[in-house]
Structure 1
Amino acid sequence: MLYKINSVFIFLFLYLVPFTAGETCVRYTFEQGFDELFSDKFELCASLNLPPWELGQYRTLGIPAPNAQSTSFMAPQPGNESCTSSFLFPMQRGATIEVTLYLDPVHSLDEFMFLITHIDPRSGLPWMSGVYIFSPSPWPFPSGWYTASFPIPGPSTPEGFLMVWAGGPRNPRMLIDSFRVIPPGMDESFCRLYEGNMRPLPALKYRAPETIPKLKSFLKINDKL
């Protein structure tokens, strides 16, 4: 059953995502294919039974987009923790994942959690290789656009995906504008999210620490809900 699901994701990835892959980069800007390429019904997101992320438009917000060409974003449902799994893309050891996100925190527990999951090429089963947290620390934390940057650990595999959880106890404003996967050794200027606009993202660099113990605590809490 998992093999069939993977095939569908690969098909959608190849035909719907604005990307380049293999020896170049993978990138996604939420401008098309969101409902087909992101799902809350897969792996950990399905087991947690949390509401899915929603697609939004900048024209409805009072927040300017981080790039003039960006019109869409994804966000957790208001008042809820939300979880989603991305489409499949190549998982190359040492590649860097960068997520452009917006956080207007109202509590020190507001956070984004990124879970890197590989697909075993022999069994077709998923396994988690890394967990990274973006949280408002030290507190107080300024609102704004940030870039969460973290490496892909573990051995290289042909396929994998990114799971994203986010939420907070007092309904913070949280958005994800885009993400990209930069292969090891590649200059990031060759992996632009928007080729026609060379203006740099007004975001701060933030290398998220790996926090496996925090994930275990998170799962234990949700098991009791």
Structure 2
Amino acid sequence: VSSMRFMDVRACDLHDADCIVSRSGYTGEDGFEISIPASLAEAVCRRLLDHPDVLPIGLGARDSLRLEAGLCLYGNDIDTTTTPVEAGLEWAIQKVRRTGGERAGGFPGAAVILDQLENGASRRRVGLRAEGRAPVRGGAVLATDAEGEDVVGTVTSGGFGPNADGPVAMGYVTKSAIAPGTQLYAGVRGKFLPVTVAAMPFVKNTFKR
């Protein structure tokens, strides 16, 4: 597997188990995801944990790392009401399916999405950096003023970034507030704390290209 590159997938024998290994991982780091037959999952995991370089880690760490990498979590940052353009995921739409392409349109939501590609969307997913050490969590209201009266968006994911050494978040804001450096205020425990729109990822990814 050391010769694999990002998003390569291979069938491998791992500790006498037929596994599917992909060089991916939802952290922004170089890593692997392993699909293990259910009946052998515990045995394989215990063998992996026997290795001196391996330690267990939980989903909380996965969530902070994927947030630093600017990666969306379905149900939080994207869902059936979100378009790829709003989410900043235009790279997932092939050129041949865009306006003027050989196979333009013809996919669910094409009319809306192709229009947004041409003219922009009314809202956009952006990165957010908060001042101080207090994390801004999902669901927090975003406003242009410290009183929280001019609401322009909502935080969808937020927490403390261990590599960024500070609180990071992402959310959706109106078109007028998407520029990096824009000063906003996030509702946290009855107060509105200053946050700044920031480019993502917060931490450069280390995928093996």
Shorter-chain-normalised TM-score: which range?
under 0.3
TM-score (norm 1): 0.25
Considering Cα pairs closer than 8 Å and 6+ residues apart, tell me whether 1 or 2 has the greater RCO. 1
- Structure having the higher strand fraction is 1
TM-score (norm 2): 0.27
